[in-house]
Amino acid sequence: MKVTQSVLSELDGKQVIEHRIINNAGMEVTCLNYGCTITRILVPDQNGKMENIVLGFDTVQEYQKHSPYFGAVIGRHAGRIKNGVFKIDGEEYCLAQNNLNNHLHGGINGFDKIIWDVSVIEDDESVSLNYCYLSNHLEEGYPGNVKLNVTYTVTNNNEISLIYEGESDQRTILNLTNHTYFNLSGELKRSVETHKLTLKSNEFLELDENLIPTGRAINVDETVFDFRNGRVIQDGITSIHSQNLLAGRGYDHPFLLQENNAEEIILEDNDSGRKLIIETNQPSVVLYSGTQLDNEFQIRGIQSRKYLGLCLETQGVPDAINHPQFPTTIVEKDKPYKSVTKWSFKTTN
Ligand code: FUC
């Protein structure tokens, strides 16, 4: 395996560092310490052709200017928190309201905009990038000083594992994920309407008109939210189900996972033969079909547009703190948080 490092620029007196990892099979992964952002993943198609399968930029300036969280780590709490308000032990916390009057993806200066400290760990079969950051008490309004560690490990089996760890000195909430937009066609040749998704999920969470969970879980039976036997993303784009319409014609929904670490999420692109298997220890995955991607910028020469990529954000449930019936995202003092997700890249033949 090979890993190279280069300094791209300086931001707020800190170096923006890019790491490029190439495994023995030729798979390539490039990451920045700005937001722990995955900028490129090159994997083979069914003919062995290596192409990039994620949305990303080559400069930090483009991430600062345009990025709808391309490839970044999201935190402290992924998804929306209604009115940016929650209570822990009777104490009310007010978060940054950066999405209408709601809180989204950790706030104005979320983890996606932080320059993390980074170190490289190498062994025979893998290379890991370890990113660290200390988030101070009341940063973006959240309680507790939280020590964070994000580790991306690339193996020779064309796998990437993503491990998020946090330890707080006070009871708080944490819900980290990675916001990579996948497009398995390679080099954004096509958009993701014909990608097929299979999910081990019997229920998705109903959203209100501001895309916040209402608290109701809906059975997927006989809806375009039933991915148990696989279905194409297009089904949700053409659907007249009110939940697809309010998501901007498509999907922007948390799905509750029936199983963990059991190939519970599979994304396939028939034409390229590329296949991504996602396994996690988290209770849900947010499927976001790129419905809000606007066309005001280019992505490495390709016009950005709706449905150019889709996100599969493995995580705890958005706004869980305001819905006691959902699995909690509360982290106890000195009791570490650990979220693990694995992406395995294969071909279908
Ligand atoms: C996703 C969505 C949001 C938002 C954003 C860019 O996670 O849930 O609706 O538009 O990312």
pLDDT of res. 67: 81
Q: Which atom of ligand 1 is nearest to the CA of 292?
A: 10
- d(C-alpha 310, C-alpha 288), whole Å: 6
| 69 Cα nearest atom in ligand 1 | 6
**Ligand 1 site, residue 69, Cβ cutoff 6 A:** yes
- Give the integer Cα–Cα distance in Å for 73 and 78: 9
Which helix (H) or strand (E) segment holds residue 299: the answer is strand 298-299
Q: Is 209 a catalytic residue?
A: no
For residue 55 and ligand 1, the question of a CB distance below 6 A is answered with no
Contact 258, 50 (CB under 8 A): no
User: CB count, 10 Å around CB of 149?
Assistant: 17
Q: What share of the chain is helix, strand, coil (3-state, %, to 5)?
A: 10, 45, 45
- Does the C-beta of 252 come closer than 6 Å to ligand 1? yes
Task: Enumerate domains of the chain plus CATH numbers.
Answer: 2-347 (2.70.98.10)
Residue 179 CA: which ligand 1 atom is closest? 7
pLDDT value of position 148: 98
The CA 314 to ligand 1 mean position distance, Å, reads 13
Question: Could you tell me if the CB of 211 is within 6 A of ligand 1?
Answer: yes
Q: Virtual CA dihedral for 88, 92, 98, 103, nearest 10 degrees?
A: 30
Rounded to the nearest angstrom, the distance between the alpha carbon of 82 and the centre of ligand 1 is 14
Ramachandran assignment for 14, one of left (phi > 0), alpha (psi -120 to 50 degrees), beta (any other): beta
Instruction: For the chain, list residues with pLDDT below 70.
Output: none
DSSP one-letter string for 204-239: EEEE-TTS-EEEEEEE-TTSTT--TT-EETHHHHH-
In the residue annotation, 179 being an active-site residue is answered as yes
DSSP for 121-146, written as a single string: EE-SSEEEEEEEEEEPTTGGG--S-E
pLDDT recorded at residue 294: 86
pLDDT in tens, 157-182: 999 999 999 999 999 999 999 999 99
The residue type at 153? T
Residue of minimum CA distance from atom 9 in ligand 1: 252
291, 305 contact by CB (below 8 A)? no
Rounded to the nearest whole angstrom, what is the distance from the C-alpha of residue 288 to the centroid of ligand 1?
7
Can you tell me whether residue 320 is helix, strand or coil? helix
CB of residue 343 inside a 6 A radius of ligand 1: no
The CB of 292 under 6 Å from ligand 1? The reply is yes
Task: Determine whether the shortest distance from the Cβ of 286 to ligand 1 is under 6 A.
Answer: yes
User: What local confidence, expressed as pLDDT, does residue 161 receive?
Assistant: 98
Of the residues 288, 312, 319, which should be mutated to test ligand 1's pocket, given the most ligand atoms within 8 Å of the CB?
Answer: 288
- 247: Cβ below 6 Å to ligand 1? no
Residue nearest to atom 6 of ligand 1 (CA): 68
For ligand 1, the distance from its centroid to the CA atom of residue 46, given in whole angstroms, is: 31
Q: Tell me: the pLDDT tens digits for 302-337?
A: 999 999 999 999 999 999 999 999 999 999 998 999
